[in-house]
Structure 1
Amino acid sequence: MHYRLLSALVASAAVTAVEAVEAAAAAAATYDYIVVGSGPGGGPLAANLARAGYSTLLIEAGGDEGDNPTYRDIQNFNEAANDEASRWDFWVKHSDDPERELKFGHTTYDTGDGTFYIGTKPPAGAKHLGIQYPRAAVLGGCAMHNGAVCSLPQDDDWNLIVKATGDTSWEASKMREYLKRIEKNDYLPAGNAAHGYTGWLATSVGDASFAKNVSLPGTKILRKLAELTGQDPDAVGTLVNSDILGDYKNRDEISSFYNMVSHADSQGKRSSPNNYIRATLADPAKYPLTVKLHTLVTKVLFTNSTGGMANAPPRAIGVEVMEGASVYKADPKHIAGTKGPVSQILAKREVIISGGAFNSPQILKLSGIGPREELEKFKIPVVKDLPGVGERLADNYEGSILALGAVPVDSGLITLIFRTPSAPTKNRNIFTWCGAFSFEGFWPGFPAYYGPNQWTCAMVHIGPKSQRGTVKLTSADPQDVPDINFNFFKDNGATDLHELVEAANLLRESWKSAGAPATPFQELHPCPGELGKSANCTDAAQAEFFKLQAYSHHASSTCAIGGDDDKLAVLDSKFRVRGVSGLRVVDASAFPVVPGAFPVLPTMMLSAKATEDIIADAKKSS
């Protein structure tokens, strides 16, 4: 299949509230704090620091699309992820095996004639790009182009940090307080002790009333799923409205339906760090927040002196930046050879990197913090030999079962979290949502549309055990994109694959209950043919399918928090980069493991905790 390449550099004539305050950056060369990246980690943090009275500069490589309905209206999230106005294309690998990589069904090639080819049989002369992993260079980060799904990590994901560092402030029960602090709940009556109602992040749910109509094919599937996961089929009309963010005893062990929560208001308008940043800028209190758009941070600046103390660690004192739209080569609008003016901006207190799981380790390495051998390879002066930077890249495995009904399958959205029989603990390990859509990962122009009869159960694997991914420099040029390899199924791969196959088998079994006229289903993958009659629908064949075709979009852990005895730990429990001072990383790269099924809400909670830690340190030093 072919898709047209995106156009050359375009400029917007719109002047936003953010752009109007950019002039302030030129007037002040020094800030208390510099925050690099405006996504779920950095955006709220910068706003919080400014609201606490600290002069804060928030640097974003992209622009502001907060008034653009493609981003503002949550129903347009597929268009947002494809939009050239914000998209950065990272062409990643899933393994070190070149032959295996070429078997990924949505491998992308540049044909050289202004189009992409997506597939496994490229035309002669096409340039292999890899597997598209779009990120959002825009005010608000990836919370501006995602599906806005909100879920919480397993308690074990928080408690893992306590075990590694001894810092009890990370206990799961305490981390829930940060959810309550940021949330503006729009779907439950005020007073629910598990939720917040005065925060900056709106949360809402959709209409699940379809589940009360037992004649619908979707409701028949729902009832069978209830039976297969130990729930009461006769209670599905109520179960589908269970609170996915609720505080239940043994929550992580309960296989249950839920009403999917979105970070959006009840009118379907996206709620994100963009809203919070803009509200902070517009507040009559005139908080000392400055936002600098279209600015790429090229490195962190250091001094070896901290007040004249002997043998003091290097201290971050600011950043070097390159100004200009689309100067980073992941931007599809980048024009070869384009550069921007380079300057320096200073921080009196700290520099905080929040560039995400790909760019945060890249910035650290360009600044001289990372594995010595890799830095010396590119003649980057070593500030601190920190071997864990760019290691332990993690993600959820994702896959889907896709079929065509005999007629359109009448249903609402089914959301289910459940445990497969071989899961290594009592905890749930699969998050699935089913409905009349298709979702098979990411490529230019995704998703494919298979007509009105399409039916999918998409799966997110919680707690993958077999990844050992890396983010490595390709040069010392900050405009270059790093080499990203997720190393899918590298360690204990058979275990994770078996869990995915078990999940697929359970979901497929439920489809048989849809009944006429929706059945028979014609499955497209992973078992092509009439549902239940494919001769090659063995566990081994499905495992091979998922090994080659699994995808992901929840990258984390490349600057992970860890204990003093962990040689790959990059951060301490207060987000401080080890071996230097005045420098922290606050984004999904800080998680030791990918947090639950969807990391956006956990990252916003992490940002609220970082706010508290940073301000506490500031007060100690005042």
Structure 2
Amino acid sequence: MGIKASTVLIFLLLFHDFLCISAKGGKHSFVKEAKKSGKWTKLKYDYIIVGGGTAGCSLAATLSQNMSVLLLERGGSPFGNENITQIQNFHTNLLDYESPHSPTQEVIFEDGVISARARVLGGATCLNAGFYTRASPSEVRAMGLEAPLVEQSYRWVESMVAHRPLPNEWQVSVAKGLTEAGVSPYNGFTYDHIPGTKLGGTLFNSTGHRSTAADILVQSANPRKLKVLLYATVQRLLFATEGKTRPKANGVVFSNRDGSKHRVLLKEGNSEVIISAGALGSPQLLMLSGIGPAEELKSMGIRVIMDHPAVGKGMADNPLNSVFVPTAIPISMSLIQVVGITKYGTYIEASSGFGPTDTKLVKNEGIILEKVNGPRSRGYLRLNSTNAEDNPVVRFNYFEHPVDLQRCVEGIKTVQKVIMSQSMKKFIYPNMNLTQIMRSSFQQRVNLIPRKTEDCESIEQYCKDTVTSIWHYHGGCQVGSVIDGDYRLIGADGVRIIDGSTFNFSPGTNPQATVMMLGRYMGVKILTERLDSLAKVNLQHPT
């Protein structure tokens, strides 16, 4: 890279606060509803980003420092919505399926597991339990990322959205119980991924106010270069194919709330469409655009732009199983703050003060969650219709691989040890034993899977029958099969995919920190690449 390009990039990134003065103080001048977009849809952009979620926000904020960016988000704004921003409304927000324009869209997988898709600026960071923790160094290496820039990118994200939690008595006791159960040592507070038990970060501050990826836009975007359209559902990418050996993206078609469709285009040259629509949305959008398994696309009446058999394949979800613990003493609300990183491939976390399946706060119940890391069971995603608003059909084949089931068994056994530990004794009713707790948890209707029995006969059966999702699904557009190491779509030009759909595994105990980091990381890489190219042009054609 030339010296001038490096100097320009460093200057822009160091002084981003100066560049976004007009966006602060709640004056989100760069955010508009799609139907009020006006001239914005008549302009051409260096980058069109599809999806203002966990990755899309940090990516857009970074690219806007030097390039014109249009960010298209199918949902609305999180700002001023207390269901999103306040911890006590966590369940209300998560289960808000009724309005077609609510932040949450219900999705039911073919496996019988119920989950939620975000449709709001900030994406899943507006819905999830807020736990913030990094990927392990080995996972970073496996992703092919450069460690120094990864570190810088994590720190950049953390400066805006991450907080140190104030654990309540339940969280402290679970941490102690984990170490008693052999998940040791206790590593204290850290964002880093370290085997043992630790206190991690959170998106919720000390007053219970949630930070989201949308706050990154407010704090770091350059409003003179960034435009954000809300309620703009991208239906398909536009490709130029005539006279080209490879299809090249040149824009997108999106619909707004009244159903009208609009076309927006890229500038000529090295401009790109970047898909950041998540593990469900990104492979779905590729297929709607004619990129995917040819026979599947033809069966839906979609013109095939490029036969890409790997799109939508290799989908995985980290299976979650929970034990609900009635408590003898009232406990305050808490979401995920403590995690046990075991040696046998499971993660154990806890929450309290929320009911398992309804919106009412439960003051006398804690939940201990166990999830399998790096599941070997794989599934698929295929289209349900040609409307991008509709959920795709998704199957994860939970516990199809015996290693996943064995890991779950070990995890639940560890959860049982935590419940029966000395540190947890004050919470357990004197007349209640472990069998009763497990039976009561087994009877909770947490999914739509038909029960083979109404009682828990084995831990294996408990795992299979009580499996749920904690939104860590990934795949469908993986590096190496759908995209290359620079996150470019293999076989086409002008398209990148940057989000959790590119993962071969879910990084860390909880992926959101790494997804936000990846948006920043790739934004810096793309800017560096673009400025390097411009520097070369300037050297060849001096003014």
TM-score normalised to the size of structure 1?
Answer: 0.71
User: If each structure's helix is expressed as a fraction of its own residues, which one has the higher value?
Assistant: 2
What residue number does 2:346 align with? 429
Q: Residue by residue, what CA displacement relative to the aligned partner does 1:61-105 show, whole Å, maximum 9, x if unpaired?
A: 1111311122122342222212342221212122xxxxxx4xxxx
Checking the alignment, whether the CA contact within 8 Å between 2:74 and 2:120 is kept in structure 1 is: yes
Shift of 1:412: 7.8
Please state whether the residue corresponding to 1:575 is helix, strand or coil: coil
Q: Does 1:320 align with 2:243?
A: no
* Contact 1:25–1:290 (Cα < 8 Å) also in 2: no
Q: Structure 1 90/222 Cα, relative in aligned 2: closer, same or farther at 3 Å?
A: closer
Matched, 1:558 2:504: no
1:55 aligns with 2:68: yes
Secondary structure, counterpart of 1:501 in structure 2:
helix
For 1:551 and 1:298, the matched residues in 2 are separated by 29
- Distance in 1, Cα, partners of 2:59 & 2:341: 33
CA–CA separation in structure 2 for the residues paired with 1:619 and 1:516: 59
2:272 partner SS: strand
Distance change (3 Å), C-alpha of 1:438 and 1:155: farther
1:81–1:56 distance in 2 versus 1, CA, 3 Å: same
The residue type equivalent to 1:419 in the other structure is: T
- For 1:255, give the aligned amino acid: G
What does 1:353-368 align with in structure 2 at a 5 Å threshold? 353-368=275-290
What is the SS of the residue equivalent to 2:255? strand
Indicate the residue corresponding to 1:341 in structure 2. 260
Give the equivalent residue in structure 2 for 1:176.
151
- Which of 395, 399, 405 is the equivalent residue of 2:321? 399
Which residue, out of 459, 462, 480, partners 2:390? Answer: 480
Q: Provide the residue aligned with 1:111 in structure 2.
A: none
**Which residue number corresponds to residue 209 of structure 2?**
269
Q: Is 1:226 the equivalent of 2:226?
A: no
- Which residue, out of 149, 172, 185, partners 2:131? 149
Deviations, residues 173-210 of structure 1 (Å, cap 9, x unaligned): 652332023221xxxxxxxxxxxxxxxx2321222475
Match among 463, 466, 484 for residue 374 of structure 2 = 463
Secondary structure class of the residue paired with 1:495:
helix
Alpha-carbon offset, residue 468 of structure 1 = 0.9
Q: Is the 8 A contact 2:114 2:468 kept in 1?
A: no
Residue number in structure 2 paired with 1:78:
91
More divergent stretch after superposition (494-503 vs 313-322):
494-503
Superposed displacement of residue 591, structure 1: 1.1
Tell me what 1:166 maps to: none
Measured after TM superposition, the shift of residue 608 of structure 1 is 1.0
Matched, 1:496 2:414: no
Structure 1: distance between partners of 2:364 and 2:433: 10
C-alpha separation between the residues in 1 aligned to 2:454 and 2:127?
Answer: 35
Q: How does 1:276-355 map to 2 (within 5 A)?
A: 276-279=216-219, 286-304=223-241, 312-324=245-257, 340-348=259-267, 349-355=271-277
Is the Cα–Cα contact under 8 Å of residues 405 and 521 in structure 1 kept in the other structure? no
Offset, 1:405: 3.0
Cα distance in 2, alignment partners of residues 507 and 46 from structure 1: 43
Offset at 1:485? 1.1
Deviation per residue, 1:273-323 (Å, 9 max, x gap): 212223457x6xx42111111111110000126xx7xx5311000001112
- Relative to structure 1, the CA distance from residue 179 to residue 157 in structure 2 (aligned partners, 3 Å threshold; closer, same or farther) is same
1:541 aligned partner: 458
**1:438/1:503 Cα in 2 relative to 1: closer, same or farther (>3 Å)?**
farther
3-state DSSP class of the match of 1:496?
helix
2: CA distance, partners of 1:292 / 1:412 = 34
Distance 1:416 1:146, change over 3 A: closer
Determine the structure 2 residue equivalent to 1:377: 299
Inter-CA distance 495–341: structure 2 relative to 1 (3 Å threshold)? same
Which residue is 1:9 aligned to? none
Q: Structure 2: how far apart are the matches of 1:324 and 1:411?
A: 36
SS of aligned partner of 2:54: coil
Q: Which amino acid aligns with 1:278?
A: V
Question: 2:3 is matched with which residue?
Answer: none
Q: Name the aligned partner's letter for residue 80 of structure 2.
A: D
Residue 141 of structure 2, aligned match among 159, 169, 189: 159
Return the alpha-carbon distance in structure 2 between the equivalents of residues 409 and 70 of structure 1. 22
**How many equivalent residue pairs?**
486
Tell me, yes or no, if structure 1 residue 203 matches structure 2 residue 162.
yes
Does the 8 Å CA contact 1:218/1:409 hold for their aligned counterparts? no
Q: Percent of pairs identical after alignment?
A: 26
Distance 1:221 1:481 in 2: 37
Contact 2:321–2:467 at 8 Å: present in 1 too?
yes
Segments of 5+ residues of structure 1 without an aligned counterpart are 1-13, 95-100, 102-130, 163-169, 185-200, 211-216, 233-238, 326-339, 530-535, 563-568
Q: CA deviation at 1:541?
A: 1.0
Higher mean Cα deviation, 79-88 or 579-588?
79-88
Deviations 1:474-529 (A, max 9, x none): 23333432111121112234333333333333323326851588434366653349
**What do residues 89-147 of structure 1 show as CA deviations (whole Å, max 9, x unaligned)?**
212122xxxxxx4xxxxxxxxxxxxxxxxxxxxxxxxxxxxx43111211111111212
Alpha carbons of structure 1 residues 209 and 460: separation in structure 2 relative to 1, 3 Å: same
Give the Cα–Cα distance (whole angstroms) in 2 for the partners of residues 224 and 298 of structure 1.
Answer: 49
- SS, match of residue 526 in structure 1: helix
1:228-271 Cα deviation digits (max 9, x unpaired): 22658xxxxxx58x12314xxxx54x31232x311244443322
- TM-fit CA distance, 1:343: 2.1
Cα distance, 1:156 vs. partner? 2.9
1:90 match: 107
- Identify the structure with bigger relative contact order (alpha carbons < 8 Å, sequence gap 6+): 2
| Distance 1:512-1:613 versus aligned 2 partners, 3 A rule | closer
Q: Which letter does structure 1 place at the counterpart of 2:413?
A: E
2:15 corresponds in structure 1 to none
> Matches of 1:303 and 1:508 in 2, distance apart?
60
8 Å Cα contact 1:418/1:429 also seen in 2: yes
Q: Deviations over 1:453-485 (max 9, x none)?
A: 3232122332222x2121101233334321111
Q: 2:16 matched to which residue of 1?
A: none
Change (3 A) 1:230 1:60: closer
Question: What residue in structure 2 maps to residue 256 of structure 1?
Answer: 197
1:452 aligns with 2:359: no
Which letter does structure 1 place at the counterpart of 2:253?
Answer: E
Q: Runs of 5+ in structure 2 lacking a partner? A: 1-25, 442-452, 535-543
Q: Which amino acid aligns with 1:558?
A: G
**Secondary structure of residue in 2 paired with 1:71:** helix
CA distance in 2, matches of 1:516, 1:65: 36
Which letter does structure 2 place at the counterpart of 1:469?
G
Decide whether the 8 Å contact of 2:77 with 2:121 is kept in 1: yes
